[in-house]
Amino acid sequence: MNLDDMLIHPQGLDVLVMGLGINGGGLAVTRYFAERGARVTVTDLGTEERLRPSLEKLSDLDIRYVLGRHEETDFDRADLVVKNPGVRRDSPFLKRSRCVCTDIQIFLAQCTNPVYAVTGSKGKSSTVSALHQMLVRHFPGALLGGNITRSPLEFIDRLDGTSPVVLELSSWQLGDLDPPQLLRARGAAVTNLYHDHMNYYTSMDEYAQDKVRIFAGQQKEDWAFVNLDNPWGSFFAEKVRGQLCVFSMKGRLSHPRAAASAYYHHQRGYLEWKGRKVAVVPEDRRAIGLANDWALLFAAAMATCAGVPPDLVRLSAAEFSGIPHRMELCHQWRGVRFINDTAATIPEASTVSYSSVKGRVHWITGGTDKNLNLEPLEKLAREPASLLLMEGSATSRMIEVFERKGWKIKGLYRDFEKALRDLRDELREGDTVLMSPGAASFELFKNEFDRGESFMRSCRSVYEE
């Protein structure tokens, strides 16, 4: 039996799911195989207590669990191993496996719907969320999944062959595709590339090579979207196989291979293509911050090229309010705004968020290191009204940067409630409290989402009306 047959008709197979997790991907693939007659074993280094939310959702299925460890014999006897994207490809357990795949590979092997895929170091989730919102106005059956914590296997039985499918894809998910041409994206975007995941990759070049696989299956009539303001933009533009659309915040840019250009002018987003100029992002819009400006421009250009009328694109762009945990206005108190930006897990993202907020900013930052590039912090000129640092391995390096700049530091803090209480006497009407960590979360929190939820709870607790 070849791989495609195993993925589509797994009845009777021994399937090992490596990495259940708590964010949905492992759940969907486990249910997919169990409901189709496979004998499923789930193995995860997490404990039963940590994984309880996922285990409860699978309680109706007959599944064998190996938790807190991996057993070599499970990998030896499995007909098929399905790996979580976060599992390193050089894992010695995977080397023992006869056949390895991922939930994205299983989905793409069966999907005949048009696919619109987005990758990048930052901005992926905001872009796909805005894009899906725009597509649904014209294609009511449009679907959204991938790295945005919803496996596309959750809706594989709803595929109709025509409705657009939007996929957010991480570098790991793209790197796991075998062959990469399995993804044929009618529209494929790389939002940016920043110094990230260097605890996983050996170099930025290796990281970029996984990202560029998003274009591998495209044909000449497909669209590719690339940010030329990013230092890696030209690299990606040269790898495009289809029609190239280039992006910039600096006005219209040209490229020898570009068939279209997307840009902002006087706070409005435009797309120039097919000999015409179309306004796709209105000046008045709900989403705040530069990161959302970028996401809306990418989404609007992709939606327009997918056939959504420009008036519907503009309407959707105006109404898009962002996504949870990314420049999320989560609380207001006596004229002070509280913004949850926990998804800014690298300094490049955090400094963009900080710089895009006008007026007095009280900045809560710091966290866990993952071989971060702190140069963006060095380049900041404006000192925040208050600088509060959370404990973490990255924070100790950040302190050196801030001290060289002569900035006054408050902290270190282990919880947001104490930090927010220490701020109370400094807040004025019109101020913004921005939690944008520029680092990972694992020393104090389960993950970045847990960090964001903790911040929002603390805001409501400390600053109740």
159 in Cβ contact with 111 (< 8 Å): yes
Are 105-319 and 328-462 in the same CATH fold?
no
Q: From CA 88, how far away is CA 109, in angstroms rounded?
A: 22
pLDDT of residue 36: 96
The 10 Å CB-count burial string (b at 16+, else e) for 80-115 is: bbbbbbebeeebebeeebebbbbbbbbbbeebebbb
> Sorting pLDDT into bands at 50, 70 and 90, what band is 370?
confident
pLDDT of residue 120: 97
Residues in Cβ contact with 100 at an 8 Å cutoff, skipping those fewer than 6 apart: 80, 81, 82, 83, 94
Average pLDDT of every residue of the chain? 95
> Sorting pLDDT into bands at 50, 70 and 90, what band is 464?
confident
pLDDT of residue 465: 59
Query: pLDDT tens-digit profile of 197-254?
Result: 888 899 999 999 999 999 999 999 999 999 999 999 999 999 999 999 999 999 999 8
Q: List the helix and strand counts (H, then E) for the chain.
A: 17, 20
Query: pLDDT tens-digit profile of 250-270?
Result: 999 989 999 999 999 999 999
Query: pLDDT tens-digit profile of 89-134?
Result: 999 999 999 999 999 999 999 999 999 999 999 999 999 999 999 9
Q: Which fold has domain 105-319?
A: UDP-N-acetylmuramoyl-L-alanine:D-glutamate ligase (3.40.1190)
Q: Which fold has domain 10-101?
A: Rossmann fold (3.40.50)
Residues in Cβ contact with 328 at an 8 Å cutoff, skipping those fewer than 6 apart: 322, 339, 340, 341, 452
The full set of domain ranges for the chain reads 10-101, 105-319, 328-462
Residues in Cβ contact with 87 at an 8 Å cutoff, skipping those fewer than 6 apart: 18, 19, 94
Q: From CA 210, how far away is CA 175, in angstroms rounded?
A: 5
Mean pLDDT calculated for residue range 348-376: 95
> Sorting pLDDT into bands at 50, 70 and 90, what band is 445?
very high
The domain made up of 328-462 is a member of CATH 3.90.190.20: yes
Indicate the length of the chain as a whole number. 465
Pairing state of beta strands 336-340 and 64-67? unpaired
Pick from 144, 149, 113: nearest CA to 129: 144
